[in-house]
Chain A
Amino acid sequence: MSRVTRFAPLALLLLVIVALIWRLVTPSDNNVTSKLEGKPVPAFDLAAALPTKPTISSAELATGKPRLLNIFASWCVPCVSEVKVLQALRADGVAIDGIAIRDRSQDVADFLARNGDPYERIGSDPQSLVQISLGSSGVPESFVIDGKGIIRYQHIGPIKTSDMALILTKLEQAK
């Protein structure tokens, strides 16, 4: 066996390792960005989730000021911890609307009574139809919507305390 063949595997290994190190040092950007960002909220008109609270429609989202639209459900475990963060946002003056996904009125009422209620208006989406048209696949998810009813930011998963600054910045940018 010649010296070249004997050392070829070693050389190949080194080449591969160098490439892999490069990738480890400069990881590629795999963040999913929503295709709906920059587009108006798709048209919808929902029934109220609670008799005591007004509902929302897409037309009413363009109120001239940025708002947060939150998709939640009483059966969703991460939504429980998210409500606390939403209340803190509300205390900071953020207007928040909710869409309850595949939920019952009584369950929503119990959920809000137990965990707190940050919402101004709540619509009910019993078959996920609006959720799907919004390009959302799970609960919770949130959308920052500017004064003209255009989606500026989509947040997938619960908003954590550490995400508050980000959400406030996005709302500020949407003005």
Chain B
Amino acid sequence: MIAEAGLAALWLAAGLAALQFVLMVLALRSPIDVCRAMRGVAVVQGALTLISFAMLLIVFARSDMSVALVFENSHSAKPFIYKVAGTWGNHEGSMLLWVTVLSVAGAFFALLSKRAGERTAIAALGAQAALALGFYAFLLIASNPFARLFPAPPDGRGLNPLLQDPGLAFHPPTLYLGYVGLSVAFSLAVGALLTGEVDAKLARAMRPWVLGAWLLLTLGITAGSYWAYYELGWGGYWFWDPVENASLMPWLAATALLHSINVLAARGALKAWTMMLAVIAFSMSMVGTFLVRSGVLTSVHAFAIDPERGTFLLALLGIYVGAAFVLFAVRGATLREGASFELVSRETGLVINNLLLSVILGIVFLGTLYPLFVEAVSGEKLSVGAPYFNAVAGPLALILTVLVGVGPLLSWRRERRSRLKTLTIPALIGATALAITVILWPGMNILPRLGLMVAAYLLVAGTLPLVARNPLRAPLATWGMVVAHLGIAVALAGMAANAAFTSERLAVISPGESLTLGPWTVQLETVEPAAGPNYTAIEGKLRATRGSGLTMLRPQTRYFSDPPTETNEAAIETFWNGQLYTVIGKADTAGGWQVRLWWKPFVTLIWTGGALIAFGGALALVGRAWRSRRRTSGGWRKERYA
């Protein structure tokens, strides 16, 4: 009954979405007052999808093998948390999660967003319903998550063991919240293009959604990067895999949008550009979903791959993004740009930020799809790897990071009392850092060297917006910006340190033998079989010593039986100055074992930085919400857009 209830709720929600869309069309054609009704419909629609998703959670938690999806993706012997995570660890479940987040976001928009103009809000709610409608159709026609199996099989087929990891429990839902949070920005942009009300008010209505989605994307990407780092056993944090790019592209667009929205909110400028970015950001979410789900690109992340579903998703992508682009092309001409600004101003800074981010986005997009174009034209197979992305996007990202220190010091419209002089100190610190790297490590590559320099500079420059005023009286949003910008410096320092200082050893050694690596001596003590709840493993016992310090590490190679898969479980020890990363590989017939060791000084700064960036976003979100509440409840201070 539970599965049927879930399916019924989904059908009802789809019906309401259709109603919501029709109401929008009626309301925009003639002045009928349907706003309240539409908000109600949106809220009920969101609640119904939530119920539907809860039902799917229940059948997974109970291991109800009469539901085909549970049979295919779960197993009664699986730890409970992975049974729950199995709900979205598959195609149908993750699409249901997607549409749930989409319509719940729509419901929250209906409830909370009184800031956009009424007609724009109606149009946006209609656009949101149209988005949801396509995904409902997708689920109900092409991939019903609640389909039954008769007779019910005795047990399930399991879940891809690579995905059996706590990371899976949080990483995809976080990313989805981010992806789909951008849908509201998309709908608002489409709504505003329909009604022609592109103004500061719209920007302020859009901003919390972009900020929230961006912050979740940041968290999701950071967590995903750490997950790939320790789960794949390859010792890297970013592989430029199409699936990774799929989440990076919306993030880049959202980052650009976040900054251009501020220009629109404060100065009424960059109207068309901001609308374009709002459309592109969500389009990138859809492109990402498509790339991951269709199997069009070869990736190390083997997810549900199915060309038929790919066709459906591609059709949705074409319809939504195509419609938005047509609307943009037709209505874009009527948008009048707002207040003008001089060459040296905050606006110019933000325009340059946007240009750089867009170029990086273009590079990633091109690099991801280029092999496809080449094969389509010449039939030649090739892959674009990390060297391309690092070489092309790296320098641009460094330039952007330098400007991150400059932008916030500029004034809106034109420079009056210039604060740029204060940049002398951070510039000196950056130069000192550069000199130190040249003296201590003459052989270091150029990119990591510049990375360390820029990180040192930004670590100081990033705090300047607070230094000039009393930090305690600065708005929370300013604090958020400063923390996020410092996060960039920290993450950059981690990346540069990883590139410059990582030492690696791969050797075949027998128990009793040892290897040296950086400050470490690592001895292989024993290799023994081990067993987990649903796998067997070979476990190496490694004894790592540094000075008088001693650490035991136990990397494993795990064999999952159902489906048959082998995974490497790296053993990682974290110290204040870095991580020791160990992997045990295959045996040779002479009794030796492949042992792979990495010493990665300060690598944890990468994820600390990511967390700081997200935390900065959270501060800004709370600060903005708090200020707007005070403003609407008859605030005592005059509105400022600093």
Question: In the complex the two chains form, what is the Cα distance from A13 to B365 in whole Å?
Answer: 12
For residue A27, give the distance in angstroms from its CB to the closest CB of chain B: 6
Given A23-B376, A127-B538, A129-B587: A13 and B307 within 8 A (CB)?
no
Given A7-B329, A19-B372, A20-B290: A27 and B295 within 8 A (CB)?
yes
> What's the dominant secondary structure at chain B's contact region?
helix
- Interface residues of A, CB < 8 Å — how many? 39
Question: Is A93 among interface residues, defined by CB-CB distance under 8 A?
Answer: no
B-contacting 9-mer, from A47-55, A62-70, A75-83, A163-171: A75-83
For residue A141, give the distance in angstroms from its CB to the closest CB of chain B: 7
Question: Is B123 among interface residues, defined by CB-CB distance under 8 A?
Answer: no
Taking a contact as CB atoms closer than 8 A, the residue among B296, B561, B562 that contacts A20 in the complex is B296
Q: Is the CB of A13 within 8 A of B529?
A: no
A-contacting 9-mer, from B195-203, B232-240, B316-324: B316-324
Residues of chain B lying within 8 A (CB to CB) of residue A139: 559, 561, 564
Given A77-B562, A139-B561: A21 and B314 within 8 A (CB)?
yes
Question: In the complex the two chains form, what is the Cα distance from A23 to B272 in whole Å?
Answer: 33
Question: Is A35 among interface residues, defined by CB-CB distance under 8 A?
Answer: no
Question: Is B565 among interface residues, defined by CB-CB distance under 8 A?
Answer: yes
Taking a contact as CB atoms closer than 8 A, the residue among B317, B321, B333, B372 that contacts A6 in the complex is B333
A2 (CB) vs chain B CBs: closest residue? B333
Question: Is A102 among interface residues, defined by CB-CB distance under 8 A?
Answer: yes
Question: Is A115 among interface residues, defined by CB-CB distance under 8 A?
Answer: no
Q: Is the CB of A132 within 8 A of B586?
A: yes
Question: Is A1 among interface residues, defined by CB-CB distance under 8 A?
Answer: yes
For residue B310, give the distance in angstroms from its CB to the closest CB of chain A: 5
Question: Is B373 among interface residues, defined by CB-CB distance under 8 A?
Answer: yes
Given A78-B563, A132-B587: A27 and B307 within 8 A (CB)?
yes
Question: Is A112 among interface residues, defined by CB-CB distance under 8 A?
Answer: no
Residues of chain B lying within 8 A (CB to CB) of residue A76: 561-562, 564
For residue A150, give the distance in angstroms from its CB to the closest CB of chain B: 19
Residues of chain B lying within 8 A (CB to CB) of residue A77: 155, 561-562
Question: Is B536 among interface residues, defined by CB-CB distance under 8 A?
Answer: yes
Q: Is the CB of B276 within 8 A of A16?
A: no
Q: Is the CB of B564 within 8 A of A140?
A: yes
Given A1-B332, A13-B325, A75-B561: A23 and B538 within 8 A (CB)?
no
Taking a contact as CB atoms closer than 8 A, the residue among B318, B335, B536 that contacts A17 in the complex is B318
Q: Is the CB of A133 within 8 A of B311?
A: no
Residues of chain B lying within 8 A (CB to CB) of residue A17: 314, 317-318, 322
For residue B508, give the distance in angstroms from its CB to the closest CB of chain A: 13
Q: Is the CB of B333 within 8 A of A133?
A: no
Q: Is the CB of B563 within 8 A of A157?
A: yes
Given A19-B369, A21-B314, A127-B587: A137 and B562 within 8 A (CB)?
no
For residue A35, give the distance in angstroms from its CB to the closest CB of chain B: 14
Q: Is the CB of A102 within 8 A of B298?
A: no
B308 (CB) vs chain A CBs: closest residue? A24
Q: Is the CB of B322 within 8 A of A13?
A: yes
Question: In the complex the two chains form, what is the Cα distance from A14 to B314 in whole Å?
Answer: 11
* 0 or 1 for each of A134-159: is its CB under 8 Å from B? (1 = yes): 00011111000000000000001100
Q: Is the CB of B561 within 8 A of A19?
A: no
A78 (CB) vs chain B CBs: closest residue? B562
B325 (CB) vs chain A CBs: closest residue? A10
Residues of chain B lying within 8 A (CB to CB) of residue A133: 589
Taking a contact as CB atoms closer than 8 A, the residue among A1, A14, A28, A73 that contacts B272 in the complex is A1
Residues of chain A lying within 8 A (CB to CB) of residue B287: 16
Residues of chain A lying within 8 A (CB to CB) of residue B298: 28, 30
Question: Is A34 among interface residues, defined by CB-CB distance under 8 A?
Answer: no
Taking a contact as CB atoms closer than 8 A, the residue among A30, A137, A140, A157 that contacts B566 in the complex is A137
For residue A46, give the distance in angstroms from its CB to the closest CB of chain B: 12
A21 (CB) vs chain B CBs: closest residue? B314
Question: In the complex the two chains form, what is the Cα distance from A78 to B290 in whole Å?
Answer: 31
Question: Is A87 among interface residues, defined by CB-CB distance under 8 A?
Answer: no
Give B285-316 interface residues, CB cut-off 8 Å to A.
287, 290, 294-296, 298, 307, 310-311, 314
Q: Is the CB of B372 within 8 A of A23?
A: yes
Question: In the complex the two chains form, what is the Cα distance from A93 to B225 in whole Å?
Answer: 52
Question: In the complex the two chains form, what is the Cα distance from A1 to B270 in whole Å?
Answer: 12
Give B134-154 interface residues, CB cut-off 8 Å to A.
none
Residues of chain B lying within 8 A (CB to CB) of residue A157: 563-564
Residues of chain B lying within 8 A (CB to CB) of residue A102: 529, 536, 559
Give A113-128 interface residues, CB cut-off 8 Å to B.
127-128
Residues of chain B lying within 8 A (CB to CB) of residue A75: 536, 561
Question: Is B598 among interface residues, defined by CB-CB distance under 8 A?
Answer: no
Residue in B290, B560, B561, B566 whose Cβ sees the most chain A Cβ within 10 Å? B561
Residues of chain A lying within 8 A (CB to CB) of residue B296: 20, 23-24
Residues of chain B lying within 8 A (CB to CB) of residue A141: 564
Residues of chain B lying within 8 A (CB to CB) of residue A20: 290, 294, 296, 314, 372
B residues engaging A (CB < 8 A)?
A: 155, 272, 276, 279-280, 283, 287, 290, 294-296, 298, 307, 310-311, 314, 317-318, 321-322, 325-326, 328-329, 332-333, 335, 369, 372-373, 375-376, 381, 529, 536, 538, 559-566, 586-587, 589
The 9 residue pairs across chains A and B that have the minimum distance between CB atoms: A138-B564, A10-B325, A76-B561, A6-B329, A137-B566, A77-B562, A23-B296, A9-B325, A6-B332
In the complex, given contacts A9-B325, A16-B287, A132-B586, what are 18 additional A-B residue pairs having Cβ atoms less than 8 angstroms apart?
A6-B329, A13-B325, A17-B322, A20-B296, A23-B375, A24-B294, A24-B296, A30-B295, A44-B589, A78-B562, A78-B563, A129-B587, A138-B559, A138-B564, A139-B559, A140-B564, A141-B564, A156-B564
11 A-B Cβ contacts within 8 A?
A9-B279, A10-B326, A23-B296, A24-B294, A24-B311, A27-B307, A127-B538, A132-B587, A137-B559, A138-B566, A157-B564
